[in-house]
Amino acid sequence: MSNEIVLRPYQQKWIDDARRSFSKGNKRVCGVAPCGAGKTVMTGWMIKEAVERGKTALFFVHRKELIEQTAKTFSQLGIPFGIIAAGYAPNYNQPVQIAGVQTLKNHVNLIPAPDFIVCDECHHILSKTYLKIINHWKNSFLLGVTATPERLGGVRLGDVFEDMVIAPSVKELIALGNLTPFTYYAPKSGLDFSKLKILHGDYKIDDAAILMGNSKVVNDVVGNYQRYADGKSAICYCVNVEHSKIIADRFNAAGIPAAHVDGDTPKNLRDQIVNDFRAGNPKILCNAELFGEGFDVPNMDAVILARPTKSLTLHIQQSMRPMRPDPNNPSKRAIILDCVDRARSLGLPDAPRHWSLAPNEETEPQEPPLKICPDCKAVIPLGARVCENCDYEFEFTEWVDGNGKLYEVLNGLQRFLQIAESMNYKPGWAVHKAAELATSYDDFLLIAQAMHYKKGWAWYQWQDFISKTA
């Protein structure tokens, strides 16, 4: 294959798992891999091998930055391709096409049916535009790839996909050195998001912009950066364009070089700003969701979350941006600065996730079992006795609940999950072992919260416990 790119063992296994699923008769497979796992490399490898067998392929994305990055990877792999997107001259004679979704939807009749289709960031696939594309070629093999296979409201992707293959978890990739470790800071914001209106499952942008555009809140964002990530290169995710400009202006006023970019920034200027950011100046790149998916800057050290959201997908995509290893900084440790209390409702990026293809399954939001270190403000597991960031030792009363009951069950679950990872057991083994420690409904609720299960699971387990001990 290519002399420039060599597959990592987990990448080869992921590819083998996807092929095995197709060989079993599945036509549409969802491939899950965390941010930074190398999804473009893995899918590109599969496309290259398909082309060598005389097959044709289509790889489509939804942002122009992703088109450029995909083209670069495919060139490294030696894949012959054309590009179907605004600003590119089409070449339909190539066996592989890289396409932007907005252009592709209007050109499906010009393209012969590809043998193999890859949908990047396929958590978008239930939208009308995506469905129009994939349903135009119902007989093609479809591989959708994403780090977060769900949409707001808990809607799953089982309405499209028949099977799912999963790469190692975020924790595993950190242990392998394919992602950097991180420290997650969540200084108290004092903001009340409960009053924000909800639109399409997330906070209404206009309302969130008013709340986050308050002068004190903006100053807090800048102050928190100076306190927890001073001097680090960081992307700041803002609510909307106006909010992004305000944040950038405030950083510049504080003597911290910052720039704003949005979808209307002229391409040449935008490319120049991004290249300057990659080179280290400006230090802060402000935007509104522009660089949440597939944006690769290894020397970026930090991310600033200044946009409240109820979307787990958005949260993970944005918070993990600085976790790509930097060859020039082997000891890199990413900083995630949460200015909008996301961790309390959405968890840390390396929390155990149990993805499912169950169609249209509504999930109840659960508050992850986390706490904030009173000394350094890092977010850590609720049952921790020592802060892993600053070595603060919690007093006895700081790690018991209001009734004085130790979080023995939660500590047990964390311990069993670590064992499960090291022994390559399924997470369900750890849940079963932790449930053996539970003696109350609250204990089972703790396990359910930690694993993002529904409350009904805890109730069922409690009733089963009662029946066995009666």
Q: Which residue has the higher pLDDT, 415 or 120?
A: 120
**pLDDT band, very low/low/confident/very high, at 353 (cuts 50, 70, 90):** confident
Cross-strand bridge partners of residue 265: none
- Provide the phi-psi class of 280: left if phi over 0, else alpha when psi is between -120 and 50, else beta: left
- Does the pLDDT at position 21 exceed 60? yes
Complete DSSP assignment for 280-315 = T-SSEEEESSTTSSS---TT--EEEE-S----HHHH
Cα–Cα distance for residue pair 143/157, rounded to 1 Å: 12
Cα–Cα distance for residue pair 155/157, rounded to 1 Å: 7
pLDDT at 359: 67
**pLDDT band, very low/low/confident/very high, at 66 (cuts 50, 70, 90):** confident
The answer to whether 339 and 306 have CB atoms below 8 angstroms apart is: yes
pLDDT at 383: 64
- Average pLDDT (262-270) is 88
The answer to whether 303 and 321 have CB atoms below 8 angstroms apart is: yes
Closest CA to 322 of 351, 342, 292: 292
Structure tokens at 46: 């599969």
H helix runs in 267-407, sequence order: 267-278, 312-319, 342-346
What is the DSSP-derived secondary structure letter of residue 67?
H
Do the bridges between strand 163-166 and strand 234-237 make them parallel or antiparallel, or are there none, so unpaired? unpaired
- Does the pLDDT at position 449 exceed 90? no
- Average pLDDT (39-45) is 96
**pLDDT band, very low/low/confident/very high, at 404 (cuts 50, 70, 90):** very low
The answer to whether 337 and 185 have CB atoms below 8 angstroms apart is: yes
pLDDT at 405: 45
- C-alpha dist (Å) from residue 42 to 14, 70, 200, 413: 8, 11, 33, 33
The answer to whether 34 and 147 have CB atoms below 8 angstroms apart is: yes
**pLDDT band, very low/low/confident/very high, at 135 (cuts 50, 70, 90):** very high
Structure tokens at 75: 């060139």
Cα–Cα distance for residue pair 285/126, rounded to 1 Å: 31
The answer to whether 128 and 136 have CB atoms below 8 angstroms apart is: no
Complete DSSP assignment for 60-75 = EESSHHHHHHHHHHHH
Lowest mean pLDDT among 102-111, 118-127, 297-306: 297-306
Contacts of 97 (CB under 8 A, 6+ apart): 57, 58, 59, 81, 82, 83, 84, 111, 114
- The per-residue pLDDT for range 225-246, each reduced to its tens digit, is 999 999 999 999 999 999 999 9
Cα–Cα distance for residue pair 235/257, rounded to 1 Å: 12
Residue 308 has a CB neighbour count (10 Å cut-off) of 21
pLDDT at 4: 73
| Of 319-328, 384-393, 410-419, 428-437, highest mean pLDDT | 319-328
pLDDT at 340: 96
Cα–Cα distance for residue pair 129/359, rounded to 1 Å: 19
- Average pLDDT (189-195) is 90
The answer to whether 269 and 314 have CB atoms below 8 angstroms apart is: no
The answer to whether 258 and 251 have CB atoms below 8 angstroms apart is: yes
Cα–Cα distance for residue pair 432/385, rounded to 1 Å: 24
**Environment class of 330 (CB within 10 Å of its CB; exposed 0-12, middle 13-18, buried 19+):** exposed
Cross-strand bridge partners of residue 379: 372
The answer to whether 33 and 7 have CB atoms below 8 angstroms apart is: no
Cα–Cα distance for residue pair 391/406, rounded to 1 Å: 20
- Average pLDDT (356-379) is 72
**pLDDT band, very low/low/confident/very high, at 2 (cuts 50, 70, 90):** very low
What is the maximal distance between C-alpha atoms in the chain?
Answer: 74
Residue 268 has a CB neighbour count (10 Å cut-off) of 8
Provide the terminal-to-terminal Cα distance of the chain, rounded to the nearest Å.
64
**What's phi and psi for 145, nearest 5 deg?**
-120, 140
pTM of the model: 0.81
- Provide the phi-psi class of 255: left if phi over 0, else alpha when psi is between -120 and 50, else beta: left
pLDDT at 369: 66
